[in-house]
Amino acid sequence: MMVSFSKLGIFGRSVLAGLAAFGTCLLFDDCKCHAQSGHVSVEAVPLTLPVLVGNKDCPVLKLKLEWMGDAQQISLTQLQGTLDGTTAAEDVEAWSIFGGVNDDFHEAQLLGKLAKPGAEASFVHTFAGDGYPLPSGVSILWIACTLSETANIDHRVGVACSQLSLSTGETVVLDGAASQQRLGVALRRAGQEGVHTYRIPGLATSCSGTLLAVYDVRRRSGRDLPGDIDVGLSRSTDGGQSWQPMQVIMDMGEDPQWQYDGIGDPAVLVDAQTGTIWVAATWSHGNRSWHGSGAGILPEETGQLMLVHSDDDGLTWSQPSNITPQIKQPQWSFVLQGPGKGITLRDGTLVFAAQYLDGEDHQRLPHSTILFSSDHGASWQIASSAWDDTTEAQVVEIEPGVLMLNCRYNRVPARVVMTTRDLGMTWQRHPTSERALIEPKACMASLIDVGREANKDYGGLLLFSNPDSRSKRHRMTIKASPDRGMNWPNEQQLLIDEGASAGYSCMAMIDAQTIGVLYEGSQAQLTFQRIALADIVKGLGTVKSSP
């Protein structure tokens, strides 16, 4: 007889476990775990977490073990499995086994190292001594790996557990599929180079194909401005496989009297016609950020919108220039960029998403908008409000001269989407606004036009990334729209990190077939991954160069 082991609770499981003593074959939930043991059930728990170059012991497989418990002590003595799903064994430096009693891998205990698998990529691990004692109730077993510094991040790692042996002499056999994970790079980690926190990613591809990642370097704490914060830059000339040492490209001072003159929330823009790279950020001279900034123009009164630029592919950078007098209305409390990235329109206009706060007489109400330059950055203008109570936004040009602004919204857990045909003098509400794209109450997101970035004709294909949740910042997901944002089909979505994080992200096309995504992940403060476009959008067919 075969019995399905669903969510029956302890009593129901105990009843079915008794059948095992008479040779009954038990089929456990997702992993089809067949066992003669009446003591232990095993479930292979689906897992989606990036395995990162630069991190030690990245979880790949998660097993949930449940022992009903009686007077007898029971231990796990041996584990057998395969590295099914691992593209190249040389990508992995070491495999390890961890055990714990909750879902937090970082609280699990190291149980041992796996011996180097044989020619068939299978392994047998025998636990030391009398084995690993199983607590009564639920415990979690993890198999993790550490990648080589030269691992190819286009590859995958995978592992499957085929059999567990118990101190009673019984075995639990699993025939489920391997747990396979994507690779990536831990671009910035907490404490790296003595920095407390790295946040707020921006990502762009230069005209020569160099990847440019910008971010906050929060030296003393994880808090937002004001504070000791600079803007950092990382460059990659091989599509994100490896990264050069961090540069600090914006540093406004370190005087404690002015709360270290922090500058942050960067956005990066590549001028597609000249090749110049621009980075915008907000400077807080003292407490002149979201809460402390006020009316006026001067640094002692209000936050300052600063720009730097590079004409040599990001190798060297200009001194910061201050465009606050050009764009800020004195009665506003604050004005700043995206963050994330900006774009070049078909006619050469440079556009950053932007945001501003009304004055005190209007309760400092925030508004999303755009900031633009028609002379390649020599001068800048700001548009009108796109929608009330919106803040961090991203912009794309969905048709020649037609811009779509996708905005973080404070009132409901869904994105506001607006369009303009006149550079933000007037705005129209898009049919999908507050409906098609959810967010966890309020969080920054990324939006890119694939064809414009890759210089290919993809027929209006857009990509969007954010935490795919209404409740909390987890489940970082990339979604595709084949029709300029009118629809976001469920079958064209890819979960890349299920864990909880700070949740910000920014995408750029590396080439016509490959997405780069830099995001605040669960496994590193700033995670970079390469994602094949075909993994999200099926049946792309042959693409052609844009006219």
Catalytic residue set: 392
**Quick check: helix, strand or coil at residue 398?**
strand
Chain centroid to CA 51: how far? 13
Q: How far apart are CA 189 and CA 524, in angstroms?
A: 5
Token pair 């009843």 in the structure block, residue: 15
Backbone angles phi, psi at 74, to 5 degrees: -130, 145
Q: Are strands 51-53 and 179-188 parallel, antiparallel or unpaired?
A: parallel
Backbone angles phi, psi at 127, to 5 degrees: -75, 145
Q: How far apart are CA 112 and CA 424, in angstroms?
A: 60
Q: Which two tokens stand for residue 367?
A: 């508004």
**Quick check: helix, strand or coil at residue 412?**
coil
E-state strands within 272-358? 277-283, 304-310, 321-322, 334-337, 340-341, 343-344, 350-357
User: Which of 186, 349, 204, 357 lies closest to 267, judged by CA?
Assistant: 204
Cβ contacts of residue 60 below 8 Å, gap of 6+? 47, 51, 143, 144, 145, 157, 158, 159, 179, 181
Contact 533, 450 (CB under 8 A): yes
Backbone angles phi, psi at 141, to 5 degrees: -115, 135
Beta bridge partners of 80: 124, 163
- Reported residue count of the chain is 547
Q: How far apart are CA 504 and CA 432, in angstroms?
A: 22
E-state strands within 292-361? 304-310, 321-322, 334-337, 340-341, 343-344, 350-357
E-state strands within 350-504? 350-357, 366-373, 381-382, 387-388, 390-399, 402-409, 416-420, 428-429, 446-449, 462-467, 476-481, 493-497
User: Which of 380, 352, 384, 350 lies closest to 367, judged by CA?
Assistant: 384
Ramachandran area for residue 240 (φ above 0: left; ψ -120 to 50: alpha; else beta): left
Token pair 């790692």 in the structure block, residue: 157
Q: Are strands 304-310 and 526-532 parallel, antiparallel or unpaired?
A: unpaired
Contact 476, 507 (CB under 8 A): no
Q: How far apart are CA 160 and CA 174, in angstroms?
A: 9
